[in-house]
Amino acid sequence: MQAIDGRCSCGSIQYHYPAPALQVVACHCGLCRRMTGAALSVYVVVKARALNFTRGQDRLKPYAVTNDTTRHFCADCGTPIFNQNAQKYAGLAMLYLGTVTGHEQLSPAMALYCESRLPWLQLPESCQQFQQAPERPAK
């Protein structure tokens, strides 16, 4: 996959990123589970400044999940689009995998916070597993 395109469920928001993802990361942490309602989260990591909203940027709403982490979601349909963590992962945007067009072709290269992993959920061994998180998931 070269460039990345994606959208929310209702189509109000569309984005384009002109390069391949820096990294695809799965997160097993309890905060991600709580804020998405899903068993795990998978993020497509890109450079925030190159992420371009081609439609509906004004429909994008921020929510401060913690002091450091902001989740941006569609005000019309509620789809989470991306997270940012200015402290830990400055300059990066973590796109939600399911919003990416063609996400069936992507799989996580690393999994974070495996210490919190649901016991019935096991990713393939090709996915590098961390008990917590490395300093930066993408250089």
Which residues contact Zn ion (rule: CB under 5 A)? 8, 10, 12, 27, 29, 32, 74, 76-77
Q: CB-wise, 12 or 23, nearer to Zn ion?
A: 12
Q: List alpha helices for 2-118, DSSP H.
A: 30-36
Residue (19 or 68) nearer to Zn ion, CB: 68
Residue type, 123: L
Nearer to Zn ion, 46 or 117 (CB): 117
How many separate helices (H) and strands (E) can be counted in the chain?
A: 1, 11
Mention every residue, 6+ apart, whose C-beta is less than 8 A from residue 138: 22, 23, 25, 45, 92
Question: What's the closest the beta carbon of residue 32 comes to Zn ion, in angstroms?
Answer: 3
Query: Nearest approach, Cβ of 105 to Zn ion (angstroms)?
Result: 23
What 3-state DSSP class applies to 55? Answer: strand
Kindly compute the dihedral angle of the four CA atoms of residues 88, 38, 4, 109, in this order, to the nearest 10 degrees: 70
Give the shortest CB-95-to-Zn ion separation in angstroms.
14
Nearer to Zn ion, 4 or 69 (CB): 69
Q: How far apart are CB 59 and Zn ion at their closest, in Å? A: 7
